[in-house]
Amino acid sequence: MAQIPSLDNAHLNLASLREQSQKELLNILKNIRGKKCLVIDPKLGGSLSLLIQTSLLKENGAELRHLSAEPVETECTRILYLVRPQINLMKFISSNIQNDLSKGVQREYFLYFVPRRTVVCEKIFEEEKVHHLLTIGEYPFYLLPLDEDVLSFELDLAYKECFVDGDTSSLWHIAKAIHKLEFSSGVIPNVRAKGKASTKVTEILNSLQVEEPINSADMGIPEINTLILLDREVDMVTPMCFQLTYEGLLDEILQINNGSVEIDSTVMGGGQQDGKKIKVPLNSSDKLYKEIRDLNFEVVVQVLRQKATSIQQDYAEVKSTSQSVSELKDFVKKLNSLPEIARHVNLAQHLQSFTCKPSFHARLDIEQTLLELQNYEICFEYIEEMIHKQEPLVNVLRLLESKSNWLAIARALQLIVEDTDTANPNDISYIFSGYAPLSIRLVQHAIRSGWRSIEEIMKLLPGPHVDLKRSVSNSSSSQDANPVFQSNLDRIADGRRSLALVIFIGGITFAEIAALRFLSSQEGTGYDFIVATTKMVNGTTILETLMTNNS
């Protein structure tokens, strides 16, 4: 199965978005004649693996390398750097070039910034006196489809940069990406944002519309009806909770990177080669995965058992009695799904070896207690014990993240739900076996009635919120919506489902995506969701970005 997901069933034309990005990348390669060495910064390389097959790059005469402080080992005389505009990466490039100069190696250097060139990066080259050697270009790649309903801005440090360093570059990036998207999908008429970063993105988005207006007159009805922006900061509790959906658990335990997990081949029932890692792609192109990814893990085990049992029964029947050809055909069809079933049985078994540990249950207990704010003392004792046992720092920190006003919020938004039926859920609280993620509750309110009805609660959460209607006509006053158009919109909303773009600044967890998918499958929601995030995260990766020292 391919690592690059199929986007055919997406609610928005994401396939053309991806094709455009592919084309632009190939054009960059084609414009540099002859053989060249393509040097990519490793993080970006991961993103590109979901965009384009490496074989395609090689076909265009590119030899692939990862950017590091080490000099580039290649015979090519043309070097093409493809990097995000980050200062530390610029230092690597400078030292690469200086190394060549000192050895008297003559090369042509091309540098393409993703998504755009920046003054601060070029400044480094000027300081290092290599600027004149570089031919600089831009590769405007702002948005990467991870799956048919998930987009990523691939800004893994956004949370830290914005909230710790005060560097808001990523907010401009997000606004620009939305604006670019709007050029093909139309101006999104309703915008709801919560949090400092989200409201800032809304502001930038408006000023971009002034700078480069989208002429919506000739575009018809906008494809996306509502844009919901949330700061991760608004809800730091949810990502700290251990995810209990199948996909969430895979991420927590095995780390999903760029839409796949890397695990020991023995886990997948492979041969005896020890320590050999294999990549297992995980996206909706795998039909079984699509079906079970968002289920609570308990349920997944049952589903898999059922499937396997039914096949086994069929197999027994095939062996024992003579059957009609059509029955055989059905059976063979079922057999086609066998590799998928086998794959997930292997994965699930691997996960279960973690989930059956008592420490796992103890931890879930504590999480639940924390969320219900019943007994702080037990929690602190537990945490202290963890410190004594010298568990990894990250785990400790995850539990320490607690919140003021939590109780009021939790009550008002019914975040703690007793009696959840994980097999036949009727509320998003099934995701965490009884806790409904705050972030998704907010989304739920946003599309149902706007945030005005929960104004008081919104005030308890950090950061300002805005709720605005953007005029679709090109008139100068952007606040009042055109009444005729508005009624038009409402009428359409009656007829078919609307599309909402939900953006998480600072990352989203798989469990939250699962909750959104569940929400849209519920009758009466009337909305499909497309999620865009700065990066897929879980509690561990969020804290890791905050802890790392990337100097």
Partner 1 sequence: MAAVSVAGEWQLLYNRFYRKLTIYSMEWGRIDLSRHRVAAAPFGGPVAAIRDDSKIVQLYAESARRKLLIFNAAGCPLASAVWDRPGGRLVGMAWTDDQVLVCVVQDGTVYRYNVHAELCAPQFSMGKECFEQGVVECVFWGNGMICITEGFQIFCVPDFKNPVPCKLADPGIEEYPLCLAVIEPQYTMSGNVEVLLGVGDHVLVVEEDGVQQLGVGVGPFQKMAVSQNGKYLATFTHDGRLLVILTDFSRIIFEYTCESSLPPEQIAWCGLDSVLLYWDEKELLMVGPNGNPVSYLYDEPIRLIPECDGVRILSNSSMEFLQRVPDSTVSIFQVGSTLPAALLYDALEHFDKRSAKADENLRLIRSSLAEAVEACIDAAGHEYDLSRQRTLLRAASYGRAFCSQFPRDHFQEMCKILRVLNAVRNHEIGIPLSIQQYKLLTPPVLIGRLINANHHLVALRISEYLGLSPEVVIMHWASAKITASPAIQDTALLDILLDKLRLCKGISYAAIAAHADSCGRRKLAAMIVEHEPRSSKQVPLLLSIEEEDSALVKAIDSGDTDLVYLVLFHVWQKKPALDFFGTINARPLARDLFITYSRFYKHEFLKDFFLSTGRLQDVGFLLLKESWKLEKNPMASKGSPLHGPRIRLIEQAQKLFSETKEHNFESKAAEEHAKLLRLQHNLEVSTKQAIFVDSSISDTIRTCIVLGNHREAMRVRTEFKVSEKRWYWLKAFALATVRDWDALEKFSKEKRPPGGYKPFVEACIDADEKAEAIKYIPKLTEPRERSEAYARIGMAKEAADAASQAKDSGELFSRIKLTLGQNAAASSIFDTLRDRLSFQGVY
Residue 446 CA to residue 222 CA, distance in Å, equals: 19
Closest contact distance (angstroms) between CB of 102 and partner 1 is: 20
In whole angstroms, give the CA distance from residue 513 to residue 501.
12
Among 221, 255, 269, 414, binds partner 1 (CB under 8 A): 269
State the minimum distance, in angstroms, from the CB of residue 430 to partner 1. 19
548 sits near partner 1 (criterion: CB under 8 A): no
- Token look-up 């849209």 returns 520
Burial of 449 (0-12, 13-18, 19+ CB in 10 A): exposed
Tokens at 148, concatenated: 């048919």
Q: Confirm or reject binding of residue 120 to partner 1 (CB under 8 A).
A: yes
The residue type at 260: S
Q: Does 278 bind partner 1 (CB under 8 A)?
A: no
* Choice between 246 and 529, CB closer to partner 1: 246
Select 268 or 366, whichever has its Cβ closest to partner 1.
268
Under the criterion CB under 8 A, does residue 373 sit at the interface with partner 1?
Answer: no
Supply the minimum distance, in Å, between the C-beta of residue 449 and partner 1: 30
Out of 270, 412, 453, 455, point to the residue binding partner 1 (CB under 8 A).
270
168 binding partner 1? (CB under 8 A): yes
126-145: contacts with partner 1 (CB under 8 A): 127
CA 460/CA 9 separation, integer angstroms: 39
Pick the stretch among 32-40, 268-276, 496-504, 537-545 that binds partner 1 (CB under 8 A): 268-276
Pick the closer one to partner 1 by CB: 391 or 467: 391
DSSP 329-389: HHHHHHHHTHHHHHHHHHHHHHHHHHHTSHHHHHHHHHHHHHHHT--HHHHHHHHHHHHHT
Q: Using CA atoms, how far apart are residues 22 and 52, in angstroms rounded to an integer?
A: 6
Whether 550 contacts 89, CB under 8 Å: no
Beta strands in 218-345 (DSSP E): 226-231, 260-264, 277-281
| Residue 46 buriedness (CB in 10 A; 0-12 / 13-18 / 19+) | middle
The residues in 20-39 that bind partner 1, with binding defined as CB under 8 A, are none
Using the rule CB under 8 A, is 172 a contact of partner 1? yes
* CB of residue 167 to partner 1, shortest distance in Å: 5
Contact between 547 and partner 1 per CB under 8 A = no
| 59 in contact with partner 1 (CB under 8 A) | no
Token output for 464: 């300002």
Site string for partner 1, 193-222 (x = CB under 8 A): -------x--xx--x--xx-x---------
Per the DSSP assignment, residues forming a β-bridge with 20 are none
User: 159 vs 529, which CB is nearer to partner 1?
Assistant: 159
The residue count for binding partner 1 (CB under 8 A) is 55
What is the C-alpha separation between 534 and 157, in angstroms, rounded? Answer: 8
Backbone phi, then psi, for 94, in 5-degree steps? -60, -45
CB of 392 to partner 1, least distance (A): 12
Contact 297, 355 (CB under 8 A): yes
374 binds partner 1 (CB under 8 A): no
Q: Which residue, 116 or 290, is less far from partner 1 as judged by CB? A: 116
Q: Which of residues 316-345 bind partner 1 (CB under 8 A)?
A: 335, 338-339, 341-342, 345
Task: State which amino acid sits at residue 443.
Answer: V
Note the residue count of the chain.
551
Q: How far is the CB of 543 from partner 1 (least distance, A)?
A: 18
Which of residues 35 and 116 has its CB atom nearest to partner 1 in the complex?
116
Burial class (CB in 10 A: 0-12, 13-18, 19+), 402: middle
Among 138, 167, 327, 467, binds partner 1 (CB under 8 A): 167
Binding of residue 166 to partner 1 (CB under 8 A): yes
Contact yes or no for 191/208 (Cβ under 8 A): no
At closest approach, how far in Å is the CB of 385 from partner 1? Answer: 8
In three-state secondary structure terms, 13 is coil
Spatial distance between the Cα atoms of 541 and 159, rounded to a whole number of angstroms: 11
For binding to partner 1 (CB under 8 A), which residues are involved? Answer: 87-88, 91, 116, 118-120, 123-124, 127, 161, 165-169, 171-172, 175, 200, 203-204, 207, 210-211, 213, 268-270, 301, 304-305, 308, 311-312, 315, 335, 338-339, 341-342, 345-346, 348-349, 352, 356, 358, 361, 385, 388-390, 549, 551
